[in-house]
Amino acid sequence: MSVATESLGLDEMFGERSSPSKSNSDSRRDILVTAANCFRENGFSATSIDDVAHALRATKGRIYHHFRSKTDLFFAVYRMGMEINFRATEPHTRGDAPALLKLARMSVAHSIALMREQSFQRVLAQGVALHQQGSTTAAQRETLSELIDIRNSYEALFRKAIEAAAQQHKIKLSDPSIASKSFLAVLNSTVFWYSPREDNPHAEQLAIARELVTYALRGIGADMPDEALTFMEQSNDE
């Protein structure tokens, strides 16, 4: 499902130790993907474990064999969604390209990953909502704030890139915090209105990403560098 687990340096961050039993990991992954779709369609608390099991053509037993509780399942889906984002974005933070170009490439990669993995991204949105609300147990609350930390570190990736670009290109950011929040708000907005077209949505997604990044960069007073889209040949897997 285009969520290839290559050996990047992020594995230990998400605790995805390459387990010896292959089928076990596959089954778990199928549950995560199916659960992500259910959570997207019905929301967390409106989705029952039986719903996920039915979508899997299985029963609760299978899910509870892999996850301790419904909340645990949700957290695992959240982790996987964040992992997708990191794998898409983090490679572009390195290298010695100009800061603005790096920022633009990060943004395009993030935006496209967002549209390609809609289910997981909506779960991420629900995750922050759950955080603003009150979790049940203390352990869950701790795990949740750990997930929020991961998200914050992801947003910090963008914030640093924005500030680096601003410094290098002599842009004045009156409030870097609000600027980066607005920046990501634009990129993330597709979650609320985008739904993929038929056949090959890749061209459409690329065009939308280009529009969004152009808008977001203008907001901080920068122009979209044309080379920002030239790295996109790699994105044909499967």
Partner DNA sequence: TTGACAACATACTCGGTAGTATGTTCCTCT
Partner DNA sequence: AGAGGAACATACTACCGAGTATGTTGTCAA
Give me the residues that bind DNA (CB under 7 A), please.
21, 23-24, 27, 47-51, 53, 58-62, 64-65, 68-71
Asked if 115 and 208 count as a contact pair (C-beta separation under 8 A), the reply is yes
Each residue of 85-104: b (16+ CB within 10 Å) or e?
bbbbbbebeeeebebbbbbb
CB of 8 to a second copy, least distance (A): 28
Which of 103, 107, 87 minimizes the C-alpha distance to 95? 103
Ramachandran region, residue 173 (left: φ > 0; alpha: ψ -120 to 50; beta: rest): beta
CB of 195 to a second copy, least distance (A): 9
CB of 64 to DNA, least distance (A): 4
25/118 with CB nearer DNA:
25
What is the contact surface with a second copy in residues (CB under 8 A)? 41-46, 128-130, 132-134, 174-175, 178-179, 181-182, 185-186, 188-189, 192-193, 208, 211-212, 214-216, 218-221
Q: From DNA, a second copy, none, which one binds at residue 8 (CB under 5 to 8 Å depending on kind)?
A: none
24/42 with CB nearer a second copy:
42
CB of 141 to DNA, least distance (A): 14
- % helix / strand / coil in the chain, to the nearest 5? 70, 0, 30
Q: From DNA, a second copy, none, which one binds at residue 197 (CB under 5 to 8 Å depending on kind)?
A: none
13/171 with CB nearer a second copy:
171
CA distance 167 to 163: 6
